[in-house]
Structure 1
Amino acid sequence: MAKLALLRHGESQANAANVYTGWNDVPLTDKGRRQAWAAGEKLRQLADFSPERIHTSVLSRAIETANIAAEAAGFLYLPITKTWRLNERHYGALRGLDKDVSRKIFGKEQVLEWRRGFDAVP
């Protein structure tokens, strides 16, 4: 049976600052690097899990997370495929804006529709 492990990047500087990033290429924080290592250790403990490839976006926070997790899991030998198609959602005009401020300006419902909907564009 095929298995798939999905891993989100560790905390980025934008996450720590509570601002929208989207396609902005922001680095991980030290906390994000520790989270990536911990995730890799958990992957190493999975029974019967032997991936053939690692896929990541082209954003540095995701690439660094993949590299750190692969090292912790013992998967550094795996090929890595990078594609923009795995990039985080593009937040358009919200990029760089504080998330709490955006909810005050536009309302919680509108921001939720932009962040989780498929048709609305900020």
Structure 2
Amino acid sequence: KETTTTHHTNDHVPPIKNSVNDVDSNNGNSENNDANTFTLLLVRHGNSVWNGGQPGTQETFTGWTDVALSDVGVEEAKAMGTQVASLYPPKRGTIDACFTSVLGRATMTAHYCLWGFAEQDWRTEPRQYVSDYRLNERHYGALQGLVKDHIENGNRRNNNNNNNGDGDD
């Protein structure tokens, strides 16, 4: 059985197939009390080279620009795999499905997180691995690639120039 997700607002957008509804949450493990129960983990991508916070980097509007994880981001993703393994011990089975955007920072975070999970066999992916552009970060249009501080400073300058004290706005 194949399920689809219907989007009423954008009929031209194809549905995401093989949704989480198709995943067997029990994974053949009788330890799971309710075969209809899923645990959903939401993980933000690790720090990227445009997130700032590191020497020589500035916080930049990223949007759909495909920038890499920083070294800090790789370590964050690996640590998340360890954290997931501590919350969900091996007797619960492996991760059944992974949904990610198509952006490299998200797919690499998923990679490091999944394979940091102690029981996930590094040679195999979860039974379902769905990568879809509709899970991408918001698109910032003309702001993508611009440094956030520069935008804020530019707005302050424009506001100061427009406020000449004559009462006209």
TM-score class, shorter-chain normalisation, is 0.7 to 0.9
Tell me what 1:117 maps to.
none
Deviation digits for residues 18-43 of structure 1, max 9, x if unmatched?
Answer: 11110000001111000000011111
Look at both structures and tell me which one has the larger radius of gyration over its CA atoms.
2
**Runs of 4 or more above 6 Å deviation:** none
Q: How many residues align?
A: 107
Report the RMSD for the aligned CA atoms in angstroms.
1.7
1:21 and 2:57 equivalent? no
Matched residue of 1:100: which SS?
A: helix
Unaligned runs of 5+ in 2: 1-36, 53-57, 157-169
Deviation digits for residues 56-91 of structure 1, max 9, x if unmatched?
Answer: 000001000000000111334413110001100101
Give the superposition deviation at 1:98.
Answer: 0.8
Identical counterparts, % of pairs: 38
Q: Structure 2 length normalisation: TM-score? A: 0.59
Rounded to whole Å, the distance in 1 between the matches of 2:93 and 2:63 is 31
Q: Structure 1 length normalisation: TM-score? A: 0.79
Tell me what 1:58 maps to.
102
Unaligned runs of 5+ in 1: 108-122
Give the superposition deviation at 1:50.
Answer: 5.0
1:106 and 2:155 equivalent? yes
Structure with a larger share of its residues in helix = 1
Task: Specify the code of the residue in structure 1 equivalent to 2:134.
Answer: R
- Selected match of 2:77 from 31, 36, 45: 36
Rounded to whole Å, the distance in 2 between the matches of 1:87 and 1:40 is 21
**Contact 1:11/1:32 (CA < 8 Å) preserved in 2?**
yes
- Larger relative contact order (Cα-Cα within 8 Å, sequence gap ≥ 6): 1
Instruction: Indicate the larger mover: 50-59 or 89-98.
Output: 50-59
